């Protein structure tokens, strides 16, 4: 009977930790920044009001706005984003086994 209680306790702690970890990874961030263009590495480059450069890896699939258009450069946007980890690749396009954290734009609206 002690084994059953101990197993249930360990399972409870494990699930609690897993839920907290998932919640922390799904945190959304907001920023108002000016679009500066697309970098050579295909990152979307923005600069915020404190002159801090922010690079975004990709856009959510539901976003219809195209940041590849020249007329978007210089416009100010309200951006909601999250972070995620992706595999790093070497110059031959093969996975290195390393992970890197990148930003994904979830929503983007122009600020007039």
Task: Report the CATH number that the domain containing residue 75 is assigned in CATH.
Answer: 2.40.50
Residue 4 located in a structural domain: no
Confidence at residue 16, expressed as pLDDT on a 0 to 100 scale: 56
Asked if the structure places residue 2 within a domain, the reply is no
pLDDT of residue 21: 45
Sequence-separated contacts (24+) of 89-93 with Cβ below 8 Å = none
In the numeric block, which tokens belong to residue 102? 């990148």
User: Does 14 map to a domain?
Assistant: no
Mean pLDDT of 86-92: 88
* Residue 62 structural domain: 28-110
Q: Which pLDDT value is given to residue 73? A: 96
Distance, in Å, from the CA atom of 102 to the CA atom of 88, rounded to the nearest integer, reads: 11
């Amino acid at each position: 009977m002690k084994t059953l209680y101990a197993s249930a306790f360990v399972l409870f702690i494990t699930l609690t930790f897993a839920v907290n970890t998932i919640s922390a990874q799904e945190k959304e961030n907001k920023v108002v920044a000016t679009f500066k263009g697309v970098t050579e590495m295909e990152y979307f480059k923005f600069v915020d009001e404190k002159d801090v450069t922010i690079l975004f890896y990709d856009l959510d699939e539901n976003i219809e706005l195209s940041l590849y258009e020249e007329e978007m450069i210089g416009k100010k946007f309200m951006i909601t984003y999250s972070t995620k980890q992706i595999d790093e690749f070497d110059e031959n396009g093969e996975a290195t086994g390393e992970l890197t954290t990148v930003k994904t734009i979830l929503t983007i609206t122009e600020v007039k």
